[in-house]
Structure 1
Amino acid sequence: MSIKIMMNQLIEFSINHWEMVAVFFVILATVVYVESKNGAKSVNASTAINMMNSENAVILDIRPNKEFKSGHITDAINIPATKVKESLNTLEKHKDSPIIVVCKAGLNSSATAKDLKKEGFAQVYKLQGGVSDWQASSLPLVKG
């Protein structure tokens, strides 16, 4: 099917179902707004490395302890996501440093990053793709 035919069908669908399309865009705009307002900025692995080297960024690995021990970023602090709120005192000394929240695939770090921002941590980021992308980029992981 050619692109021209697909575009014509998309336009026809949009005209015939304009209410549904309008609702979709309102929901999309709301999600984008909420994420940009409250969410932490994503950083890729190379940016994270630069931040670790030049800004003393702290890596907060929120995976369960067993996953953390199977391989983690050097000098990462492990606090499982379910225990971050009760372990804020551990992070308090890093309040003025950038904190990069890391999970397995980059999907669970958003909630923790938002919680840290609410607690007054100004420089909170999340690692795009998590440890999986870090490893896929052939970057080192420490076991134990």
Structure 2
Amino acid sequence: MKKLFIITLFTISSISLFAQENSVIVKNINSDELHDMLENDMQLVDVRTGREYQRGHIKGAKLISINSADFNEKVNELNKDKLVVVYCAVGGRSTAAMRKLKDMGFKEIYNFVGGVREWQMNKYELVKE
């Protein structure tokens, strides 16, 4: 009986550990949360068009337009084990990008659902580089 209990406990622990190692964290965040995170080690990705990006983007963001033919290729250059935060103008394209990143095996993806519009409404700065 004791042996069966130990085997069962080991099996449950192994399954739980496997599930934790393969879990994906997907979360929607707002502008205040993103602003507080900017000093953290993360990959900030602007999925808007190049023209939108040039008009102003969040400091530290990398442009990877979801509409570009090489979106998947550029995304694969990111670290899949490191937090990725995606944003667009108002949240539609970033939601689609979040789903794609999840399907591509990224482990932790945050979607800034308010996008640049909410960022500006809250008086946070955009940069032009």
Q: What's the TM-score, normalizing by structure 1?
A: 0.66
Percent same amino acid at aligned positions?
33
Structure 1 Cα separation of the partners of residues 77 and 117 of structure 2: 26
1:16-31 alignment runs, 5 A limit: none
Residue 106 of structure 1 aligns with which residue?
91
Taking a change above 3 Å as real, the CA distance of residues 95 and 39 of structure 1, as seen in their structure-2 partners, is: closer
Deviation at 1:39, TM superposition (A): 9.4
Structure 2 Cα separation of the partners of residues 64 and 143 of structure 1: 14
Contact kept, 8 Å, 1:59 with 1:75, in 2: the verdict is yes
- Which runs of 5 or more structure 1 residues have no equivalent in the other structure? 1-37
Query: RMSD value over aligned CA atoms?
Result: 1.9
Structure 1 Cα separation of the partners of residues 92 and 25 of structure 2: 12
Where relative contact order (Cα < 8 A, 6+ residues apart) is larger, the structure is 2
Residue 49 of structure 2 aligns with which residue?
64
Structure 1 or 2, whichever has the larger Rg, is: 1
Report the residue type matching 1:97 in the other structure. K
Structure 1 Cα separation of the partners of residues 46 and 28 of structure 2: 15
Greater helix fraction, Structure 1 or Structure 2 = 1
Residue 139 of structure 1 aligns with which residue?
124
> 2:54 is paired with a residue of what secondary structure?
helix
Residue 34 of structure 2 aligns with which residue?
48
Structure 1 Cα separation of the partners of residues 82 and 120 of structure 2: 24
Q: What's the TM-score, normalizing by structure 2?
A: 0.73
Deviation beyond 6 Å, 4+ runs, structure 1: none
> 1:42 is paired with a residue of what secondary structure?
strand
